[in-house]
Amino acid sequence: MKTIPLLFMGLFSIVAFGQFESGEDLLISDQQKDDIYLAGETIEINAVVRGDVVAAGGNISVNDSIYGDLTAAGGELFINQYIADDVRVSGGSITINSEIGDDLVVFGGEVILTKNAKVSGNLLCYAGDVKMNGEVVGMMKTTGADVTVNGTIQGTSKIIGEDIEIGDNARFLSDVEYWSSDGEIDFKESLVNANAQFNEDLREDRPEFSWVSFGIASLALWGFYMLSAFLVILVLHALFRKAFSKSVQTLQQHTIKSFGYGLIYLIGVPLLIAIAFMMIVGIPLGLFITTIFIFSLLFGHLIAALLLAYYVTQKNKKNWGFWSITFLALLLAIVLRVLTIIPFLGIILSVVILSFTYGALTLRALKNRNIPEPIE
């Protein structure tokens, strides 16, 4: 069994062909027939998705139609095309510039519904700065620090804001209940067969916007991270269960050698890639190795978590089953992720963790190919 090549090809298959995709920059350019789960720094959906989309990233853009639900969390979100079902999003800055087929639930620092935006269901919005310039067919409940309404709301409305501004194009076709720190405000000509009532009791629903937005976005990001990590760990565990179990034995027998071989991998592969790119005939091989190496770094802490989970169970002589080890690996992955984001120290920990992990897997692969193991 060639553990390392199979493991990397498994990672490549998950990213390239599976319903879960993860990477620094993700571009969905081919039509997706089923649900997809995305995690990356930059995510662009430029093709039709027939199922649901779950996404977490720094910058997320939806530029083609989604015929299921959209659940997303990120720094900046742009929804520029039709979403057929519910949308639940959170982030620092969120722009809705298309039609939403059902309900929209949004949490953010800044939320903008452009004049092209249409929510066919209900709108529930919690944000610091809200600009509603589109149309809401159902009811609207908006809570924010600065709230500007310059669109059309057909259902009943509840608006809570430190500062509420009603634009010249605003139209309320049903009753409005509101609270503003300035007291009663002028709704101008916006009320169409409707009444606006100032309600002091709504003040109790006013949150600390900045902390709420930040907290919700952070929790959402961690939630999506755990979902993404669980899916990857589940697939890797199912495909390479025996490989991880045997690699732990190698790690215990050749701890120092494992670290050394892993360090050679982390340093040697980039050198090999550089040499390949220097030769014209080696460019295709260099591109392939680069892709595999990047995937190994992206999924490194998840692979390490699985290896560590097997190490813990064997060290403590636990006879745990598949699911127990999977969930233990998820817990360890979260711990490793928290540790590796510590400035400077995180880089050192990442190098050490990946060295032990890929070193143990490499040594196991050498043994399976009947190559003599190094002598201590």
| The predicted structure's pLDDT at residue 14 | 44
The pLDDT score that the predictor gives to residue 375 is 43
CB neighbour class for 21 (10 Å; exposed up to 12, middle 13-18, buried from 19):
buried
Locus of tokens 């900045």: 210
Task: Name the 3-class secondary structure at 371.
Answer: coil
Give me the residue label for tokens 């997303």.
Answer: 72
Q: How many domains does the chain have?
A: 2
Q: 36: which 2 tokens?
A: 């997809």
Average pLDDT over all residues of the chain: 81
Residue whose tokens read 């003599």: 372
199 & 254 share domain: no
Q: Is 374 within the bounds of a domain?
A: no
Give the pLDDT confidence score for residue 280 in this predicted structure.
62
Q: Tell me, yes or no, whether 185 and 247 share the same domain.
A: no
pLDDT at residue 311, as a whole number: 85
**H or E segment at 200?**
none
pLDDT of 220 reads 52
Residues 33 and 156 in one domain: yes
CA distances from 376 to 121, 253, 256 (A): 68, 9, 9
How much of the chain is in helix, strand and coil states, percent to nearest 5? 45, 30, 25
In a domain, 314, yes or no: yes
Same-domain pairing of 203 and 244: no
What residue numbers bound the domain in which 168 lies? 3-211
Task: Please state the φ and ψ torsions of residue 68, each to the nearest 5 degrees.
Answer: -135, -150
Distance of alpha carbon 129 from alpha carbon 144, whole angstroms: 6
Which stretch of 28-37, 50-59, 70-79, 288-297 has the lowest confidence by average pLDDT? Answer: 288-297
